[in-house]
Structure 1
Amino acid sequence: MRVRGYAAATPCWSVLTSPDPATAAAFYCDLFGWTTTEAEDGTTLFLLRDLVVAGLIPSPADRSAWLTYIATDDLDATTTQVTAAGGQVVQPPTDVATRGRAALYTDPAGAVFGAWQKVRFAGAQVHDEPGAICWSETVTRDVPASAAFYGQIFGWVDQAGTAPGVTMEYHEWVSHNRVVGGLSIMDERYPPNTPHHWRTIFSIDDCTGFMARAADLGGRVLAGPVDAGIGQACQILDPTGGPILAIDVIPELRP
């Protein structure tokens, strides 16, 4: 789905940080049919049908991670709100060439997320179709604390999940009567040392085929296919250690 802009308080942009950008780029391009181009600040942009779908930057860490950025109309005010609510500033507001301004934070539980204030670039230009990101969610053991923090920053309201067929407890972030993201609860399925985090979810059109392709390209399948109620899902690690969740959504829920 072609996207031309994002309302404030909406996840708008995802960036892969990787210690081996060349390997990561080759993997994701082969996996999703993406191509790459260089942004004016020298970072890499992933393209789907010549539309920007995600970003890629080098990381000094020993494994990859996907970062979620949330749209804001006032990055400085958002940064002030984050610290007032008990979060930490990882990267203060910074100009990203002429595309926009970005900052990175951790919530009080340690989950890393970003905020993006557009100048010339609003965020991903394609969303919620096979080969693109379809959902962003925070994964936490403490729903009330997360709801209080993100509610204070972005005005989100936490509600019980409304997707049909989902049997596990799940929550949604609502902004101005519109669902913009999710909140997934860490339970006994997660190792005890799993940190709180944000998760990037990709839309696919064949879960079994996707898993096989990911393995052939050097990824590692962690789980799947799993009936997620709204479709068949799987979790993989890319060759540089970055986790992604992908889902083949049932036809009646596709946009």
Structure 2
Amino acid sequence: MAARPEGTPVWTDAMFTDVEGAKTFYGDVLGWTFGESSSEFGNYTQAYKDGKAVAAVVPPMPGQDGEAQSAWCLYFASPDVAATAERIRAAGGTVLMEPMQVGSFGSMCIARDPAGVVFGIWQAGDHEGFELEGETGSYAWAEVFTREPAKSDDFFTSVFGYGSKKMMDDAVDYRVFDLGGEQPVLGRMTMTPEDFPPEIPSYVQLYFAVDNCDLAVERAERLGGRKVFGPMDSPFGRFAAILDPQGAAFAVIDLRTTVGEMPEMK
């Protein structure tokens, strides 16, 4: 597989206090199976859909139990994680976990933008990232949900060299980022006080593809998850936002069930 361009979403993982519970939940909702945990790397466990790697789950590091909130982390591709970390600092971001080698798999760091959005950087080695995208049970899309859109916009365009276009809709402040082509790689949504309580921090919302959005929501609720928004029709697909039983936010989207005209971007 050719290396993904810098700034492309390339991988995702999440920390769960109850890893077995997470496996049960996502196994049912998204149809994931799981490999053997890697004790050498903190019992990191990859998730698969149809035998292809789509995500990973990991327990807290020793001493972190009960401290960190479960959350999905999106990683962006980089050919040089150390150089990207320096650009993150120069753009006003914070490097939370310094660049580190992960065996022969690759190198990573964790960072936060000036508005508080946490994300990762991945320099591929043996592990090149998603083996399946845009198909049922795999990563489909991601959006930066931020309370300070100007800060996030300036930051991500500076770090990754994104181009950006704004949705021509007065009702919502939404923007998409691209890498110089027509195909966007990331969205950005402004979090309004009316829709997002103050205790919800800025974050990255991941969308996983499903065959049936309503059925996925039903399965999530049956297993202790909570519907936050939707299901709702859109030109991009029928989607819903969910909190899993351990509080990690994500969304599901049926990409084949589209309603309405695509919005104009400028």
CA–CA distance in 2 between the matches of 1:236 and 1:227?
A: 16
**CA apart distance, 1:193:** 3.3
Amino acid in structure 2 at the alignment position of 1:11 = P
With 59-68 and 202-211 compared, the bigger mean Cα shift is at 59-68
* C-alpha contact 1:15 1:68 (8 A) present in aligned 2: yes
CA–CA distance in 2 between the matches of 1:229 and 1:185?
A: 19
CA deviation string 1:96-143 (max 9, x = no partner): 121100100011111101100001111010011121110112111222
SS at match of 2:35: strand
Do structure 1's residue 169 and structure 2's residue 170 form an aligned pair?
no
Partner of 2:47: 46
- Unmatched tracts of structure 1, length 5 or more: none
Which 4+ residue blocks in structure 1 deviate beyond 4 angstroms? none
User: So what's the TM-score if we normalise by structure 2?
Assistant: 0.86
SS at match of 1:38: coil
Partner of 2:8: 10
User: So what's the TM-score if we normalise by structure 1?
Assistant: 0.90
CA–CA distance in 2 between the matches of 1:23 and 1:130?
A: 21
Partner of 1:27: 25
CA–CA distance in 2 between the matches of 1:84 and 1:34?
A: 39
With 192-201 and 146-155 compared, the bigger mean Cα shift is at 192-201
Cα separation, partners in 2 of 1:223 and 1:252, compared to 1, 3 Å? closer
More strand by share: 1
Partner of 2:59: 58
**CA apart distance, 1:231:** 2.2
Partner of 2:186: 181
**Relative contact order (C-alpha < 8 Å, sep 6+): which is higher?**
1
Do structure 1's residue 209 and structure 2's residue 210 form an aligned pair?
no
CA–CA distance in 2 between the matches of 1:221 and 1:125?
A: 28
**CA apart distance, 1:46:** 0.1
Do structure 1's residue 193 and structure 2's residue 199 form an aligned pair?
yes
* C-alpha contact 1:147 1:157 (8 A) present in aligned 2: no
Cα separation, partners in 2 of 1:79 and 1:19, compared to 1, 3 Å? same
With 137-146 and 3-12 compared, the bigger mean Cα shift is at 3-12
**CA apart distance, 1:239:** 1.4
CA–CA distance in 2 between the matches of 1:39 and 1:123?
A: 17
Amino acid in structure 2 at the alignment position of 1:175 = L
Amino acid in structure 2 at the alignment position of 1:173 = F
Do structure 1's residue 96 and structure 2's residue 102 form an aligned pair?
yes
SS at match of 1:137: strand
CA deviation string 1:29-56 (max 9, x = no partner): 1221111113653410000111100011
- Unmatched tracts of structure 2, length 5 or more: 260-266
Partner of 2:160: 154
**CA apart distance, 1:242:** 1.1
CA–CA distance in 2 between the matches of 1:83 and 1:99?
A: 25
Identity of aligned residues (%): 32
CA–CA distance in 1 between the matches of 2:2 and 2:205?
A: 23
CA deviation string 1:168-214 (max 9, x = no partner): 43210111224111111112211133211111111112111111111
Count matched residues: 249
The two structures, once aligned, show a CA RMSD in angstroms of: 2.2
Partner of 2:264: none
SS at match of 1:6: coil
**CA apart distance, 1:221:** 1.9
CA–CA distance in 1 between the matches of 2:229 and 2:158?
A: 35
CA–CA distance in 1 between the matches of 2:50 and 2:213?
A: 21
